[in-house]
Amino acid sequence: MSTNTIIAAVILVVGVIGFALGGKHVSRTEPVTLGQKAIVEQQSDAAVATSSRVSVSTSGNKKLAPVMVGVASSTAPSLTKKVSYASDFPAEARPIIEKKIADLRATLAKNYEDYSAWLNVAIYYKQAGDYAQAEAVWLYLATLHPDDAVSRHNLGDLYAHYLKDYPKAETYYQQAIAIKPESATDYLALSELYRYSYKQNTSAAVDILKQGIAHVPEPQVEDIKNALAVLQQKTI
C-alpha cells in the first residue's frame, strides 16, 4: 500500500469514527481499520463489571450474559506508554496518528469514563500496528461494559486477523452474538473464521449462519442467507 493511500485512509477514518459513534447503532462485518473497513462500530450501552473470565453462548432468543476470557482489568490502560508502530508504517503518516492519539489521551486524562475516546484511541493504536495497546483498551472496555458488542467484535477481529489467536477470536465473536443476536455482523465474521482459519473440517461455518438466520430480522438477514448459499454451493 502506498504512503499516500495510508495517509488518505487515516484521514478517512477520522471522519468515519465520528459518524460511527454518533448514533451508536452502526454495524458491519469488520472493525474500523483502513479504507473500506472503516465503518464498523455497533451498539454499546454502559454497565459495570469486574469479572476476569467469561464464557458465552446463545439459546433460542434468550441473551446470556458474557464473561471475560483471558486477562482483562478494570484498571484503565496507560495514557503515556509509547506507541509501537509497525515497521512498514510510513513516517509521513505518523504525525496524523500521533496528533489524534495525543488529543484523545488528553481527553481521557480529564475523563477516564469517556467510552468514545477509549474506542477511538484503540482504533488509532490498531492503525499504527500497536496491537498490544489496542487489545488492552478493548479488553478494558469489555470488562467495564458487559453489554458492549463493539469492543468484543473488535477483539474478535484483532485475534482472528492480526494476532492469529483463533480460539479467542471465536470466544469474542460468540460474546458479541450473545449480546446482540439480532445483528448479522458477528455471525458473518465467525462463519468466515470457521471457513478459512479455524474448525475448517467441521460444519461450524454453516451452523453459525443457520443460527443467525433464526435471529436476525430482514433486511440484514439477507447477507447471512447469501453467505450460507455460497457455502452450501461449495459443498455440492
Tally of CB atoms within 10 A around 41: 30
Which residues are within 8 A (CB) of 207 and not within 5 positions of it... i.e. 6 or more apart? none
DSSP 78: P
Give strand ranges (E) for the chain.
none
For cell 467484535, name the residue: 153
Helices of type H across 41-146: 94-110, 115-128, 131-144
For cell 460511527, name the residue: 20
DSSP 180: -
Query: How much is the pLDDT for 75?
Result: 87
In whole angstroms, what is the distance from residue 9 CA to residue 13 CA?
Answer: 6
Query: How much is the pLDDT for 65?
Result: 43
In whole angstroms, what is the distance from residue 60 CA to residue 78 CA?
Answer: 40
Query: How much is the pLDDT for 31?
Result: 43
Structural domain containing residue 91: 3-234
pLDDT digits (tens, 9 = 90+) for 135-164: 999 999 999 999 999 999 999 999 999 999
Q: Residue 123 maps to which CATH number?
A: 1.25.40.10
Tally of CB atoms within 10 A around 49: 19
Residues 166-182: what's their mean pLDDT? 98
Residues 14-26: what's their mean pLDDT? 37
pLDDT digits (tens, 9 = 90+) for 129-138: 999 999 999 9
The number of folded domains in the chain is: 1
Residues 91-117: what's their mean pLDDT? 96
29 vs 167 pLDDT, higher one: 167
